[in-house]
């Protein structure tokens, strides 16, 4: 979370400064409310302010840096500024000469609303572009629970479901099950840290998705192990495709944080033709055993 906030240092500072400014303005320009506090108003306005703060924090944590994030955060901050003035109004009395403070309540909010509305429209366009990119991957996934949170590939469970559909809808296609395992990944983790390990897995997964022939189904099977079903209309040599995959992994250059030298890891693989969904568990078991045997030989 801290590293995400560090990425938006300027916006984070703005989100701290504006509320402090609003608070200071009210305290300096007014005197404590003498005619009693309307607690129901405080509750309503206070919760709006709190929710706005949470939205800003969520955006800073989750959004990449860029113009759209700036627009969203600045827009919401302006609304928050007005909302805080509105809330402070419940606790303060302003003399006629300081009445500009309560008059200011509406101006930043109006500008903020326009900015946020424009930003949401841009966000919608960004989402359409991202959806289109998803469609170029091995499938279009809507439910995030169908995805592995680290790599954004199918989770093993969802992959099995997709496999069943593939066997049902494409009974005549040639199917090859491939298992890939990254070599020495635990060593990579110990040297560069778990977060960099996650970043490597994410990058590698994007590369894998884009390198696979259309119709292929890939999932993160476990840890640093990936499972792929290759679906081909004709009986072509899947060995060539598997060889290309392993070469792509071997040439996937990853730059760990604050490191100028690229790291390239290799992978070992095992593959088998599969004709029926009924054979899936036995085939997966054999492929896993084959990968473990290769590891034992290499050790």
Q: Is 246 in the site for ligand GTP (CB under 6 A)?
A: no
Q: Is 189 in the site for ligand GTP (CB under 6 A)?
A: yes
Least spacing, CB of residue 148 vs ligand GTP, in Å: 8
Per CB under 6 A, the list member of 86, 89, 138, 224 interacting with ligand GTP is 224
Least spacing, CB of residue 197 vs ligand GTP, in Å: 2
Least spacing, CB of residue 121 vs ligand GTP, in Å: 36
CA 176 to CA 193: how far, in whole Å? 34
Q: Is 152 in the site for ligand GTP (CB under 6 A)?
A: no
- DSSP-derived letter for residue 64 is P
Please answer whether residues 154 and 219 qualify as being in contact, where contact means their C-beta atoms are separated by less than 8 angstroms.
yes
Per CB under 6 A, the list member of 120, 150, 262, 285 interacting with ligand GTP is 150
Least spacing, CB of residue 293 vs ligand GTP, in Å: 11
Nearest to 210 by CA among 174, 248, 178: 248
- List Cα–Cα distances, 7 to 59, 64, 293, in angstroms: 12, 8, 44
CA 269 to CA 224: how far, in whole Å? 12
Q: Is 264 in the site for ligand GTP (CB under 6 A)?
A: no
Please answer whether residues 171 and 232 qualify as being in contact, where contact means their C-beta atoms are separated by less than 8 angstroms.
no
If residue 227 lies in a helix (H) or strand (E), which one and from where to where? Answer: strand 225-232
Beta-carbon contacts of 160 under 8 Å, excluding residues fewer than 6 positions away, are: 280
Q: Is 184 in the site for ligand GTP (CB under 6 A)?
A: yes
Q: Which stretch binds ligand GTP (CB under 6 A): 43-51, 158-166, 185-193, 228-236?
A: 185-193
Nearest CB to ligand GTP, comparing residues 109 and 270: 270
Give the footprint of ligand GTP on this chain (CB under 6 A): 150, 181-187, 189, 194, 197-198, 201, 223-224, 295
């Amino acid at each position: 979370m801290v590293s995400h906030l560090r990425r938006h240092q300027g916006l984070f500072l703005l989100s701290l400064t504006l509320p402090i400014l609003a608070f200071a303005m009210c305290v300096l320009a007014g005197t404590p409310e003498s005619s009693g506090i309307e607690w129901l108003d405080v509750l309503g306005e206070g919760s709006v302010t709190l929710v706005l703060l949470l939205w800003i924090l969520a955006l800073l944590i989750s959004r990449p840096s860029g113009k759209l994030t700036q627009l969203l955060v600045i827009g919401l901050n302006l609304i928050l500024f007005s909302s805080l003035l509105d809330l402070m109004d419940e606790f303060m009395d302003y003399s006629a000469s300081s009445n500009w403070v309560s008059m200011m309540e509406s101006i930043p909010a109006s500008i903020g609303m326009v900015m946020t509305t424009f930003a949401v429209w841009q966000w919608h366009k960004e989402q359409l572009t991202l959806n289109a990119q998803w469609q170029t991957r091995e499938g279009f996934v809507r439910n995030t629970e169908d995805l592995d949170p680290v790599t954004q590939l199918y989770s093993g469970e969802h992959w099995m479901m997709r496999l069943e559909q593939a066997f049902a809808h494409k009974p005549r296609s040639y199917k090859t099950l491939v298992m890939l395992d990254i070599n020495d990944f635990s060593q990579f983790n110990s040297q560069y840290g778990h977060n960099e390990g996650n970043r490597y897995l994410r990058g590698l997964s994007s590369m894998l998705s884009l390198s696979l022939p259309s119709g292929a189904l890939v999932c993160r099977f476990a840890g640093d192990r990936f499972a792929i079903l290759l679906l081909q209309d004709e009986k072509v040599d899947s060995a060539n495709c598997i060889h290309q995959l392993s070469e792509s992994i071997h040439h996937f250059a990853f730059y760990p944080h604050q490191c100028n030298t690229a790291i390239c890891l290799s992978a070992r693989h095992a593959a088998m033709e599969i004709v029926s969904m009924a054979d899936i568990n036995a085939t997966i078991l054999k492929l896993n055993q084959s990968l473990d045997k290769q590891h034992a030989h290499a050790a």
